[in-house]
Structure 1
Amino acid sequence: MPVPAVDPTLVPAHRRSRTGDSLVRRTRRSLRQLLLSSASRDVAEATRIAQVLQQPVTTGRQIAVTSIRGGAGKTTVAALLNLTYAHYRQDPVLVLEADPALGTLPIRLAAPAVRWTCSDLAEVISPSMQFAEVTGYLVQVEDGGWLLPGSQGQVGTRLELPSYRAVMMALRRFFGITVVDCETLPNSLARTALAAAHARVLVAPATMEGVASTRAVLEWMADVPRPRLLPGTVVALTMSSPDMTIDAAAASAYLSAVGVRVVTIPYDRHLAAGGPIRTAALGHETRMAAGHLGAELLNLALRKPR
């Protein structure tokens, strides 16, 4: 029985969110575009990102997204990656919620209802299934891609490791890229997903404590002998407020000193408002950052076949 992703009685409480860019920011960008050199650089970078994101994939690539604590923006980053890959790629893209404890991914991706979960699919999946059969258990995302939720919004839902592994192995042949929204570290399922993924995102809130804790996790990852986790990891530094007191460039330098790439996801009014993410409403810098992050991850995911 399908369950609405959001209680219908709550829907009227959600106001229409503003666009990611304020009027001032849009005006400044328009003025910059009047300078041909600035405009040409923007076009060149956008073209480069698009070419990377459209690289052919021979076997399914898995990208795991996790964080050290809740509220870092992990699910938002997973949703942004799904929308980015789905926009640029011709092959099917899947985002899987491996965080069943009241996960919010269906809300962020505007899923009208949730019927099947990852645990449910694990009970019926079989090697003989065809793509059309598999998608009958998934939610088609309006802005692109497919979604497999982790729960139906119920407290106490669990996703066991055997179920997760069975689903990931079965779905790999159908989707060029699968983005996995993991539980926070050091949960065992998150560690398993990180080890099995072809590339990883560690989401760090742009706060002193968030950056310090993320650095500690990166140093731990550097000490893991097999599989080697750090070389395939990118940090997404998320700015959740326009009044962040940390210097993003200094924080990025501090984290990248461990040997990882850092991509800053700027403050975006549309993302900060919560609710469904609409690609058209995202700020220009946010779309570019999501594209940059997606390109970095795909390059890492294609570097070494598993």
Structure 2
Amino acid sequence: MEQSGPDESGAAPGAAQVSPDVAEELRRMGLDPAAMGVPTGPPSPQASAQRPPPGQRQPPPGGRPPPGRQVHPHNQSPGGGQPPRAPGQVGPGVNSQKFPEQQGSSHTQVPQPSSWATTSATGGAGGPASVAGAMPQSVRRGGRTGLRGLGNVNSAGRAMAQAAVIERASARLRGARRVAFLSFKGGVGKTTVTALAGLALSSVRRGGVAALDADPDRGTLVRRLDSVQPPSIRDFLWRVYQSPQSDPRLLAHATPSGLLVLDSARSPILVDAPTPKELWWAVRTLERTCPVILLDCGTALTHPVTATMLKSVDAVVVVTTPSDDAVAACFSTLGWLERNGYEQLAKEAAVAITDVRKSRFDRRLHADVRRELGQRVQTVLGFGFDAGLVRGGVIELDRLSVTTREAALEAAAWVVSGHAR
């Protein structure tokens, strides 16, 4: 089909124009949308206002409010009782089978401490810049660095596709989005996929994302996200009990990218592992300011902790490798969900395929398995081999391949929107 020449902006007539926020995101990654023929508007004044003048660094926040007495009992629930209930909140002792739906079109507004330089660039929790002003500049810059390599594209078409994925991943949410990552089989990369999705989300959304280790046997999520030991779920609840009016983001641990993370337990012997009610209450509390909650579940889907989460999540991601036994476990997981009252979760589930070896045979097997699983579920996410992931340890997005970072961003967009591109 013949097309007319570009207009004065360099864009093809009739081309979809990306929003100013997405255009600014591309510029942050080192792209010039106009030079690539991507039709854009001028940078939004709100996004431009967030960047300090050249050569000037934004001073870090003045400090955090003291979290109170640092008492962390191991064998009792926080404060020996239930935390104070906020207006309209359900206490943790209620035998609820599903999280109460969020009222209204946005989350409860939490008063910001005076030490935070807040901004209302796009307004509301979950907006692309809702937490940018609340985080130190070094945190925001660290999150940007991880996805900057995605900008090395050679065509306007690919840049437009990447901009669309970023826009989906940074879209505002009505209420909370709770997503569980699970599988009957261990060692398939479930924790790695959870961490990648969380890091990508926190980078493009500039905060408002939390990842919880919901494995009853204590997984390795925190070791993949940060070298600093974060508080456990029970520690976090105790801090909330001591400072009920504090912003929950100040009481949890934030990685350099701004992702909030909570461990299932501080001790390998699980003496302070959370109960189902405690995990429920932790998620319910984080939802006040974090519209996206990722749950790294274990392999025991019938465990009370995992069962409680499955009754409350909005979507699931089943993780597998291309091996025969892992694919069989993936089909078994989807079948178990259908037979045990989670038909809708199974119907709308995504499957993430991870490669732990690098060979032509594995790449062909990955493609074959992807086609096979595509007949069972609507969305299949692919994560190819990456030496930066296989070696273990803390994941650094800027050390991963562009393909892996693109896959992480696609997973992040699916978490928010519930569908692939």
TMscore range, shorter length:
0.7 to 0.9
> What are the superposed Cα offsets for residues 217-268 of structure 1, whole Å, 9 maximum, x if unpaired?
2123234445621133111111111136461122112222223311111111
1:263 alignment counterpart: 381
Deviation at 1:76, TM superposition (A): 0.7
2:326 alignment counterpart: 210
Contact 1:111 1:141 in 2 (8 A): no
2:391 alignment counterpart: 273
Contact 1:195 1:227 in 2 (8 A): no
Instruction: Output the TM-score relative to the length of structure 1.
Output: 0.79
User: Root-mean-square deviation (CA), in Å?
Assistant: 2.8
- The one of 294, 305, 313 equivalent to 1:179 is 294
SS in structure 1 of the partner of residue 414 of structure 2: helix
Contact 2:219 2:298 in 1 (8 A): no
Counterparts of 1:19-34 in structure 2, within 5 Å, are none
1:166 matched to 2:281: yes
Deviation at 1:131, TM superposition (A): 4.8
Q: Taking structure 1 as reference, are residues 102 and 226 closer, same or farther at Cα in structure 2, changes over 3 Å only? A: closer
Contact 2:352 2:383 in 1 (8 A): yes
Task: Measure, in 1, the Cα distance between the counterparts of 2:221 and 2:408.
Answer: 17
1:222 alignment counterpart: 338
Deviation at 1:123, TM superposition (A): 4.6
1:142 alignment counterpart: 256
1:47 alignment counterpart: 163
1:196 matched to 2:312: yes
The one-letter amino acid of 2:190's match is K
Contact 1:101 1:155 in 2 (8 A): no
The structure in which a higher percent of residues are helix is: 1
The one-letter amino acid of 1:43's match is A
- The one of 191, 194, 218 equivalent to 1:78 is 194
1:58 matched to 2:174: yes
Deviation at 1:168, TM superposition (A): 1.4
Task: Measure, in 2, the Cα distance between the counterparts of 1:260 and 1:68.
Answer: 20
> What are the superposed Cα offsets for residues 253-296 of structure 1, whole Å, 9 maximum, x if unpaired?
22222233111111111011111101111110001111111212
Contact 1:79 1:109 in 2 (8 A): yes
1:231 alignment counterpart: 347
1:155 alignment counterpart: 269
2:358 alignment counterpart: 242
> What are the superposed Cα offsets for residues 84-136 of structure 1, whole Å, 9 maximum, x if unpaired?
1101114511111112534212211124223x31133345545983453x234
Deviation at 1:55, TM superposition (A): 0.7
Unaligned runs of 5+ in 2: 1-69, 72-148
Contact 1:230 1:260 in 2 (8 A): no
Worse-superposed segment, 50-59 or 88-97: 88-97
SS in structure 2 of the partner of residue 113 of structure 1: coil
The one-letter amino acid of 1:180's match is L
Contact 1:63 1:179 in 2 (8 A): yes
Deviation at 1:185, TM superposition (A): 3.6
Worse-superposed segment, 173-182 or 92-101: 92-101
Deviation at 1:178, TM superposition (A): 0.9
- The one of 395, 399, 407 equivalent to 1:289 is 407
Unaligned runs of 5+ in 1: 3-25, 302-306
The one-letter amino acid of 2:220's match is T
Worse-superposed segment, 84-93 or 261-270: 84-93
Contact 1:109 1:141 in 2 (8 A): yes
Q: Larger relative CO (CA 8 A, sep 6+): 1 or 2?
A: 1
SS in structure 2 of the partner of residue 236 of structure 1: strand
1:6 alignment counterpart: none
SS in structure 2 of the partner of residue 228 of structure 1: helix
Contact 1:97 1:148 in 2 (8 A): yes
Contact 1:143 1:278 in 2 (8 A): no
Task: Measure, in 2, the Cα distance between the counterparts of 1:124 and 1:142.
Answer: 22
| Identical amino acids, percent of aligned pairs | 23
The one-letter amino acid of 2:259's match is G
Instruction: Output the TM-score relative to the length of structure 2.
Output: 0.59
1:69 matched to 2:185: yes
The one-letter amino acid of 2:312's match is A
